[in-house]
Amino acid sequence: MLGLLGLLGLTVTACGSNDRNEVVTFTDAHGRVCTIIVNTDGNEDSDVDSSAPDCEYPPQGHTPGPATYAPLPSP
């Protein structure tokens, strides 16, 4: 993604699987805070899927916080 200002991570590994799922937040070039979910097939590191970004501008007078990763919630 162009304009990506920050990206940090914590990887969650599914039990009994090599797949990795990550929740990623970042600030884009327009100042919007965006969240995506990235799924990586552990058997084929080149197979990566991501959700469409969910982006919103911060409330007026506020700036976005730092970029973060968080584990996916348990099913």
Q: How far apart are CA 57 and CA 41, in angstroms?
A: 32
Q: For the chain, what is the domain count?
A: 1
Structural domain of 45: 12-70
At residue 8, the pLDDT reads: 32
Confidence bin at 74 (pLDDT 50/70/90):
low
Q: Specify if 1 maps to a domain.
A: no
Q: Specify if 3 maps to a domain.
A: no
Q: How confident is the model over 67-72, as a mean pLDDT?
A: 72
Stated length of the chain: 75
Q: Specify if 58 maps to a domain.
A: yes
Q: Specify if 6 maps to a domain.
A: no
Q: How far apart are CA 24 and CA 32, in angstroms?
A: 14
**pLDDT at 16 > cutoff 70:** no
49: left (phi over 0), alpha (psi -120 to 50) or beta: beta
Q: Specify if 7 maps to a domain.
A: no
